[in-house]
Structure 1
Amino acid sequence: MSFILAASCAIALLFVDAQRPSPLQPMRDSFYEAVEPLFYGLAWPSQSIEELSNNLRFGLQLQAENEQLRQENLLLRSQVQKLSFLASDNARLRDLHDAASVLNSRVLISEIIGVDPDPDRHVLIINRGHGQGLYEGQPVLDSLGIFGRVIQSGKTTSRIMLITDRSHSVPVRINRNGIRAILSGTGNRTELRLQYVPEKSDIAVGDLLVTSGLGLDFPEGYPVAKVTAIHRQADDQFLRITASPVAALDRSRYVLALFEKPVGAQYLIRPEKMKAVPAPSEAPPAVVPVPAASPSTEVTNAPSP
């Protein structure tokens, strides 16, 4: 009897549910809305875990990509710096080649590879030596002007003294009027001192000083410095004059070794070539042969008969 009653109820419910719209639809919707938060509550742990996992995975991936981009950026910046260095280096070489092309003398491009450890000396080391023909006293210049001279030459390297070294001097003249003087180093890379210029001399700030060719090493006409200051002292017959080098002493990486000697330098007497004058008690030689002067001959003093 109960079975028949249950079956009848079920059939009745199916019949009612089949109606459109169903009379049970409001009740079904109310029940669904009542249990809907339960569905969210059951799904939240798995969704949270998945979202956290994705965040961790994407976060680690972003960190890795960020680190990779940072390294690539560092590499690119270093490459840009290298390209900038190469561009400036090539520009310096072009300047040297341009300077060499206008010179009528033989030159040898050399690279500065070291600095003398003595802080009181302005001495650099270049990658050329007597194996390439360099010699002691040889003038060295950059694309702007006189740089210094060779003071010691090895087989493959040489030491060059800058014109600003305290022990360096070079005969110069004022390019504007030809007044001659001696330009000496002060130990300051930006300052030179012009010596033995009379107080009444015609000289002005900005005058260009060029080699006079009156020494044993530097040929005539190469720019050396520009006058920066002139001081007149009441009790001094000479002016106190300072000048600044035209060569880029603190920036040049390449220099030119100049194979040109001053006109008439072969006739000058180096101190080490001078012979001692015989004492009065010694009898002088009857005949002293004097060789004819030539560009490759060094003439020395001979005692008078």
Structure 2
Amino acid sequence: MPQPGPSAARSGDIAGVLRLLAWLVLAIILMVFDLRGGWLHAVRTQADTLMQPLWWLAAQPARVADALQQGLTSHARLREDNARLRQALLLAQARNARLQLLAAENARLRGLLDSAARAHLDVQLASVLDVDLDPTRQRLLLDSGATRGVRVGQVVIDAGGLLGQVIATTPTTATVLLVTDPDHAVPVMVARSGVRLVVYGSGRRDLLRLTDVPLSADVREGDLLLTSGLGNRFPPGFAVGRVGRLRPDDSRAFLEADVIPAAQLDRGRDVLLLRPASDPAAAPPPAASGTPPSAPAHATATPTGGAR
């Protein structure tokens, strides 16, 4: 195959140079016309207008990415804010519940002390450390013991009535036998009629038992039972409970009934221990209206060492 000669190569170079010169001349002519007449400005403006949609489309991926990033950032911030608000709400609810509990405890304590003040009782305040309400063992453990003057046999009450009596002490604690203990018995009298009876513990915190009630006794459902003072175990005049429905016992010779305790055995954190006085006096007469009379300040609870 014959190779192109030097003349042919020179002809091609000349043609290329001529084309370049032609384009340069054309560019110069266009620049001169644009400089003098500005007719290419309108062409550029139209071209920019036509290119706007393309530029908008080209910028869409970046806009979408920015929007997604902002959305994720806002979502994360909202989740953090929501978590902080939930935590703050739970904390506020916990504080509110604690304030309500403290207010309730304050109200119970105020009622406890007010009832003792109205009755002119010499009492000692103690807090409950532990409660044992097993059906065979009904006890309270108090935070006051022998070093604070607590003695075996001391009577324990609350704003409602009789709770029990101290059966054991240590230097810092005292154990109270509740009136609901199965081994506990309390001599009582009917506030309305003065009939003397005995109430026994049932092993349930919400129930006492009244047994051996004569058929002729003046006892009615709803009667208030007060400590009678017999046996010098409990001072007279403290509420023990109210009589429930009377029914014949198994022998059909006597009546029996359930008694709702007057004391709040399953609630409250504070109780009152009656301080024995040196000169006990007679019991006040029972109130006919059913309101438990208050024991005088010099009423005593003689320590016996046991419930019965």
TM-score range, shorter-chain basis? Answer: 0.7 to 0.9
Contact 1:105 1:260 in 2 (8 A): no
In the alignment, does 2:112 pair up with 1:123?
no
Unaligned runs of 5+ in 2: 1-20, 284-299, 304-308
Closer/same/farther in 2, CA of residues 214 and 263 from structure 1, 3 Å limit: farther
Tell me, in whole angstroms, the C-alpha distance in 2 between the residues paired with 1:85 and 1:246: 22
- Aligned equivalent of 1:48: 64
Please give the root-mean-square deviation of Cα atoms over the aligned residues, in Å: 2.9
- Aligned equivalent of 1:62: 78
- Aligned equivalent of 1:164: 180
SS at match of 1:196: strand
**2:170 is aligned with what amino acid?**
G
1:241 CA drift (Å): 1.7
- Aligned equivalent of 1:177: 193
Closer/same/farther in 2, CA of residues 195 and 215 from structure 1, 3 Å limit: farther
In the alignment, does 2:158 pair up with 1:142?
yes
User: Which of 205, 226, 243 is the matching residue for 1:189?
Assistant: 205
Closer/same/farther in 2, CA of residues 9 and 148 from structure 1, 3 Å limit: same
* Ranges of 4+ aligned residues in structure 1 off by more than 6 Å: none
Tell me, in whole angstroms, the C-alpha distance in 2 between the residues paired with 1:237 and 1:100: 41
Tell me, in whole angstroms, the C-alpha distance in 2 between the residues paired with 1:196 and 1:260: 31
Tell me, in whole angstroms, the C-alpha distance in 2 between the residues paired with 1:70 and 1:16: 72
Contact 1:219 1:263 in 2 (8 A): no
Tell me, in whole angstroms, the C-alpha distance in 1 between the residues paired with 2:82 and 2:38: 60
Unaligned runs of 5+ in 1: 266-294, 299-305
Closer/same/farther in 2, CA of residues 127 and 18 from structure 1, 3 Å limit: same
- Aligned equivalent of 2:273: 257
What does 1:27-106 correspond to in 2, within 5 Å? 28-29=45-46, 31-106=47-122
TM-score (norm 2): 0.76
Q: Deviations over 1:229-273 (max 9, x none)?
A: 1003585322112110011110121100012476489xxxxxxxx
**1:43 is aligned with what amino acid?**
A
Contact 1:213 1:263 in 2 (8 A): no
TM-score (norm 1): 0.77
- Aligned equivalent of 2:286: none
User: Which of 215, 234, 242 is the matching residue for 1:226?
Assistant: 242
Q: How many residues align?
A: 263
Contact 2:134 2:203 in 1 (8 A): no
